[in-house]
Amino acid sequence: MGLVSRRGIVPISHSQGTAGPLARSVRDAAFLLSAMCGPDPADAANAAVGNRFQSDYLRFLNPDGLRDARGCTSPAAIAGYLHISVPAGLHRGLPIGLSFFGAAFSEPTLLKLASGFEHIAAPRPVPRFVPHV
């Protein structure tokens, strides 16, 4: 929490950041994060980040990013950990995703992992409208 200023945003809670990129691809998310993050002295959480900002998150994209990666499941999303979700396919015609979670300021690692998955995953079909589940 803190890379993107919370100023002007109504947060979910005082301890969770809510701003971040919503994008079509991991590359687009890295590009948007590069533009969105930066110091804001009017936001205490953002000011506490110090020099942890990266000027270019695109440099962390890596098609081989999953090599030597380990996985586990945890209630990380509920605990407010940093995460990135990547489309992983369809189930009964509905899109499903794969989420990568990390500790604070682990954006470079998460972008590497997500771009590695996106590189090896099958091309994403365009979801179609399903009138019922």
Would residue 7 count as lying in a domain? no
50 in a structural domain: yes
Would the pTM count as exceeding 0.75?
no
For residue 78, being part of any structural domain is answered with: yes
Is 17 among the domain residues?
no
Q: How many Å apart are CA 56 and CA 64, to the nearest integer?
A: 19
The CA angle 23-62-47, to the nearest 5 degrees, is 60
Residue 91 lies in a domain: yes
Indicate whether 6 belongs to any domain: no
pLDDT tens profile 44-80: 877 777 777 888 989 999 888 878 776 655 555 556 6
> Of 41, 61, 53, 44, which Cα lies nearest the Cα of 3?
53
Q: Rounded to an integer, what distance in angstroms lies between the CA atom of residue 5 and that of residue 46?
A: 6
- In which domain, by residue range, is 89 found? 26-120
pLDDT at 59: 92
As for how many domains the chain has, the answer is 1
